[in-house]
Amino acid sequence: MKRSRRVVLTLMGSAAAGAVSMGLVPRIDCGPGSTVVPGPDGKPYCRPAYGGFGAAPHRFHGHGHGSHAHGGG
Amino acid sequence: MQRIACPERDDWRATAESAGFDFHTIDGERYWDERAYYAFTLEEIERRIEEPTGEIDAMCLELVGHAVDDEKYLRRLKIPEAFWPLISESWHRDDASLYGRLDLSFDGRNPAKLLEYNADTPTSIFEAAVFQWTWLEQSIERRIIPKRADQFNSIHERLIEAWKKLGGTHHLHLAGMTESTEDSGTLAYLQDAASQAGLETTLIDIEDIGLRDDGQFVDLDDRPIELAFKLYPWEWMFHDTFGARLRGAPTRWIEPPWKAILSNKGILPLLWEMFPNHPNLLPAYFEDDPNAAKLGTSFVRKPLYSREGANVALVSAGTTLAEQEGPYGAEGFIRQAMAPLPNFSDQYAVLGSWLVDHTPCGLSVREDENPITGNTSRFVPHAIL
C-alpha cells in the first residue's frame, strides 16, 4: 500500500494567531525602531520593532487591486 | 496513465469546509475538482515517478553543495551577495529541510521531465496529503472507484515523523501571509501535523514577526522565535527590512536558507550543465548564454524567480503561443526546451511529486485548459490501479 494508513486532523479550523494588546507607558530610550511598552511586571520595556518582513508582496502585487499575492507556489 | 471521468461525492464541499479546506473554490471557479481522477499503474508510480524524484533531489543536493561556496554559481543565480554567508552557513550546518515539490511533465510513455522545483514554499500540500486521501477512502466506500485502488500518498504520516525529527523540544512558529485563505490553510495543516508530532506551536503573520534590540526575532508575546516555518519565499525575505538581520538572529528557518538556491529556476540550466542528457532533465540555458541558441526558436522562457506560471512564455518557431502576465523577470530569464504537457480530454496535466525529509512520498496532479499551469489550475485526485 502506498498511501497513509491513517490521516487525522486535530487542529484545523480551530487554530488562530494570538495577539496581545499593549498600552502606553512612560518613555525610556529603546533604540531605533523599538517602542516602550509595559511589561508583565508593570515596568517599561522595549517592544520589538515589527513589520520588517512582509513588504515584498506589496511591492509585487500592489494594494487594493484585488490581488492574490501569497507566499506559496 | 489515464484520465477517468467519475461522479463527484455529493457532499464534497461540506466535507472540505468541515476540514478547513475553504479554498476549494477560488473566485467562483473550481480549484478542487473530482469530476475525474488520474489513474496510474504501480510501475509508473514506482519506477517512473518515485525513483526519478529521488534521483532529481539527489542531483539538486549535489548542485547545492557546489553552489553554496562558489561565487560563479551564486552570481548566475542572482542571489544577493549579502546573503551568501547565510546560505553557506545553513548548508554547512546541515540545516534540515521539511519538504519540497517537483513539478514534472509525464505522459505515461516517456520519462518524466523536471519542469521546476518548488523547493522553498510549495503549496497544495493539504489537498495532496489529506483531501485526496479522504477522496480515495470515501470513493472506494461509495463505489465511485474500484475497491483495489491505492494512491501514492504517505505525505501525512511522513510529515508527522519529519516534524518529530525537526522539532525536538523546540516551540515551533509558523509564519506566512495569513490573509490569504490558501496560505493560511496550508499553514494550519502543517501546524496540525506538527502538533500531532508533539510540538507546541504558534501561528503568526509574517508581518507580526518582531525584532528585539538584542537581534532576536520574537512573536507578538515577545517570545523568541527559535524554530520557524515560513510560507514566505527567501527571495522576499532578502529584500525585506529585517532581511539584513537574518544572519545575526539565532532563529532556525524551515525551509533553510540553502533552499533559496533550489527554488531559483536558474538551477535548470545548472543541472543540465552538471548532468547533461539526463533522461529526467530538459535542456536549459540562461537566456544570456550563447548556448541558448541550441534550443532554436522553440522553448519555454521562465524568470529566475516567479511562482505559479507568472511571466512564463511558451515560444514556438519564434512566436509566443502563450504567456502568463506577472511582476517577475527583473533578475533575468532562463530558456528550457519545450516539453508539451500531456493533454487528456483537452486538459493539460502537470504532476507535483512531493518529498518529505528528502523521501519521495506523494503525488499531486493539476490540470488546466491553459498549457501554463497557474495558481487556479485545478487539483484533480489520483489513484493507482
A18 interfaces chain B, CB cutoff of 8 Å:
yes
Q: Which of residues 33-72 of A touch B (CB under 8 A)?
A: 33-34, 46-57, 59-61, 68-72
The answer to whether the Cβ–Cβ distance between B213 and A6 falls below 8 Å is no
The answer to whether the Cβ–Cβ distance between A7 and B133 falls below 8 Å is yes
Residue B255 or residue B167, greater confidence: B255
B307 interfaces chain A, CB cutoff of 8 Å:
yes
Q: What are the sequence ranges of the domains in chain A?
A: 22-50
Residue A67 has pLDDT above 70, yes or no: no
Confidence band, pLDDT 50/70/90 cuts, at residue B343: very high
| Joined grid coordinates for residue B141 | 466506500
- Between B181-196 and B155-167, two packed helices, what is the crossing angle to 10 degrees? 70
Return the pLDDT at A22.
33
Reported as a single tens digit per residue, the pLDDT across B63-93 is 999 999 999 999 999 999 999 999 999 999 9
All residues at 6 or more sequence positions from A65 whose CB lies less than 8 Å from its CB, including other chains: none
Reported as a single tens digit per residue, the pLDDT across B30-70 is 999 999 999 999 999 999 999 999 999 999 999 999 999 99
Spatial distance between the Cα atoms of B227 and B224, rounded to a whole number of angstroms:
9
Residue A20 has pLDDT above 50, yes or no: no
The gap from C-alpha B286 to its chain's centroid, in whole angstroms, comes to 22
| Joined grid coordinates for residue B78 | 542572482
Reported as a single tens digit per residue, the pLDDT across B290-327 is 999 999 999 999 999 887 777 888 899 999 888 888 88
Confidence band, pLDDT 50/70/90 cuts, at residue A25: very low
Return the pLDDT at B170.
84
Whether omega for the bond prior to residue B255 falls within 30 degrees of 0, making it cis, is yes
The gap from C-alpha B345 to its chain's centroid, in whole angstroms, comes to 26
Residue B12 has pLDDT above 90, yes or no: yes
Of A19, A50, A61, the CB nearest to B210: A50
Q: Which of residues 203-262 of B touch A (CB under 8 A)?
A: 203-213, 218-222, 230-233, 235-237, 239-243, 245
- Of all helices (H) and strands (E), which one includes residue A59? helix A56-61
Label the pairing between strands B210-211 and A44-47.
Answer: unpaired
Apex A70 CA angle, B15 and B160, nearest 5: 55
- pLDDT exceeding 90 applies to what percent of chain A? 12
**Helix residue ranges, H only, chain B:** 12-18, 42-43, 51-67, 71-76, 84-92, 125-126, 132-141, 155-167, 181-196, 234-239, 259-262, 267-274
**Residue B49, SS3 per DSSP:** helix
Query: Does ipTM come in above 0.90?
Result: no
Residues of B in contact with A73 (CB under 8 A): 118, 121-123, 233, 307-308
What is the nearest CA distance from A17 to chain B, expressed in angstroms? 5
Give the total residue count for chain B: 385
The answer to whether the Cβ–Cβ distance between A72 and B183 falls below 8 Å is yes
Spatial distance between the Cα atoms of B361 and B375, rounded to a whole number of angstroms:
23
The answer to whether the Cβ–Cβ distance between A53 and B175 falls below 8 Å is yes
All residues at 6 or more sequence positions from B70 whose CB lies less than 8 Å from its CB, including other chains: none
As to burial, measured by CB atoms within 10 angstroms (0-12 exposed, 13-18 middle, 19+ buried), residue A63 is: exposed
Return the pLDDT at B148.
97
Return the pLDDT at B335.
97
In this structure, of A47-61, B42-56, B133-147, B365-379, the range with the lowest mean pLDDT score is A47-61
Q: Amino acid letter at B288?
A: D
Of B154, B210, B211, the CB nearest to A2: B154
Interface test with B, best of A2, A20, A41, A58 (most B CBs within 10 A): A2
A15 interfaces chain B, CB cutoff of 8 Å:
yes
Q: What is the pTM of this model?
A: 0.90
Reported as a single tens digit per residue, the pLDDT across B207-219 is 999 999 999 999 9
End-to-end CA distance of chain A: 29
The answer to whether the Cβ–Cβ distance between B240 and A56 falls below 8 Å is yes
Residue B304 near residue B77, CB atoms below 8 Å: yes
Residue B237 has pLDDT above 80, yes or no: yes
Residues of A in contact with B243 (CB under 8 A): 53
Return the pLDDT at B326.
81
